C-alpha cells in the first residue's frame, strides 16, 4: 500500500546535530518502506553545509537555499522534491527522536490514518521536561486551535507531523516562517472526514542556550494565524 517514506529535514545552523540526526533517521524503523531523506539547508552560516556535502548515502537528497527565507520556506522547498507515499517532518536538532518513527507510522497501516501528530504532552514516553513558559504557551495555543476548529489536539506545536502525500501536497501552504505550523493544523482541521491521529512520542527539549529557535513572540504568530485561517478559505 505504502512503498516509500519521505523524511523532510529543514536545517539551519545545526552543525552539532545534523550528521547524528541523519544517521539515526537512516537506522529508523520505516515499516519496510523505502526511505528517502530530503535535507533542505536554509543558507547555514556555520559548518552545516560542509557536513552535509560529505554525506554520500544515495537515500539522502541535499538541497541548498541561497537565502534564508524562514522555516516554512525551507519545508516547502523539501516538500517540492518529496516522492514518498507518506511524508514525515523531522527537526534537525534531535529534540525529536527518530526512534519514534514506528509509532508515528503504524496508524497509517493499522487505522487508515490520513495525518498523524506526535504528542509531547501525553507523557506515555520518557520525555525531558520542557520549560514552564513553553509548556503554558503550547497549552494555550492548542486550546485556541481546539476551540476554533472543533478538535481535541493535545499538542499542535509538535515538530512531528506525518501525512499521506496527497494531503500535505494539496494544502497549498503559503507560509514562509514558523507560521507554517498553525497554517497546516488549521487547514487539515477544515478538511471534512479527515482521519487525524495522535501518538505519544519521546523528546529531549533544548534550552535557548542549546540553540532552541522558537522564540516567545512566536506565540502571538501562532494565535494570529490560527484566527486568520479560521476566517479564510
**All 3 cell numbers of residue 65?**
537555499
The angle formed by the CA atoms of residues 137, 141 and 147, to the nearest 5 degrees, is 145
Please say if the pLDDT value at position 216 is more than 70.
no
Q: Give the ranges where 150-179 is alpha helix by DSSP (H).
A: 165-169
pLDDT band at 111 (very low <50, low <70, confident <90, very high): confident
* CA 106/CA 117 separation, integer angstroms: 12
Closest of 157, 32, 189 to residue 101, by C-alpha: 32
Residue 88, pLDDT score: 98
Residue 68, pLDDT score: 94
* CA 37/CA 155 separation, integer angstroms: 25
pTM here is: 0.89
Please say if the pLDDT value at position 13 is more than 90.
yes
pLDDT tens for 61-79 read 999 999 999 999 999 999 9
CATH number of 4-231: 3.90.550.10
Residue 58 C-beta-side C-alpha neighbours within 13 Å: 1
pLDDT tens for 141-186 read 899 999 999 998 988 889 999 999 999 999 999 999 989 999 999 9
* CA 115/CA 51 separation, integer angstroms: 32
Terminal Cα-to-Cα distance of the chain (whole angstroms): 32
Amino acid at each position: 500500500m505504502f512503498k516509500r517514506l519521505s523524511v523532510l529535514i529543514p536545517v539551519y545552523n545545526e552543525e552539532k546535530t545534523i550528521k547524528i540526526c541523519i544517521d539515526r533517521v537512516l537506522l529508523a524503523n520505516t515499516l519496510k518502506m523505502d526511505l528517502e531523506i530530503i535535507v533542505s539547508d536554509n543558507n547555514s552560516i556555520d559548518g552545516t553545509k560542509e557536513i552535509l556535502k560529505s554525506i554520500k548515502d544515495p537515500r539522502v537528497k541535499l538541497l541548498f537555499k541561497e537565502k534564508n527565507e524562514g522555516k516554512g520556506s525551507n519545508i516547502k522547498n523539501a516538500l517540492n522534491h518529496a516522492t514518498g507515499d507518506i511524508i514525515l517532518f523531522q527537526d534537525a536538532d534531535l529534540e525529536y527522536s527518530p526512534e519514534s518513527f514506528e509509532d508515528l507510522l503504524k496508524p497509517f497501516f493499522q487505522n487508515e490514518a490520513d495525518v498523524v501528530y506526535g504528542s509531547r504532552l501525553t507523557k506515555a514516553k520518557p520525555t525531558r521536561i520542557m520549560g514552564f513558559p513553553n509548556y503554558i504557551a503550547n497549552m494555550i495555543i492548542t486550546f485556541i486551535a481546539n476551540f476554533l476548529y472543533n478538535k481535541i489536539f493535545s499538542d499542535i506545536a509538535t515538530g512531528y507531523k506525518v501525512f499521506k502525500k496527497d494531503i500535505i501536497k494539496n494544502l497549498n501552504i503559503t507560509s514562509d516562517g514558523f507560521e507554517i505550523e498553525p497554517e497546516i493544523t488549521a487547514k487539515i482541521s477544515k478538511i471534512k472526514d479527515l482521519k487525524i491521529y495522535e501518538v505519544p512520542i519521546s523528546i529531549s527539549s533544548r534550552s535557548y542556550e542549546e540553540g532552541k529557535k522558537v522564540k516567545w513572540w512566536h506565540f502571538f504568530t501562532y494565535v494570529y494565524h490560527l484566527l486568520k485561517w479560521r476566517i479564510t478559505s
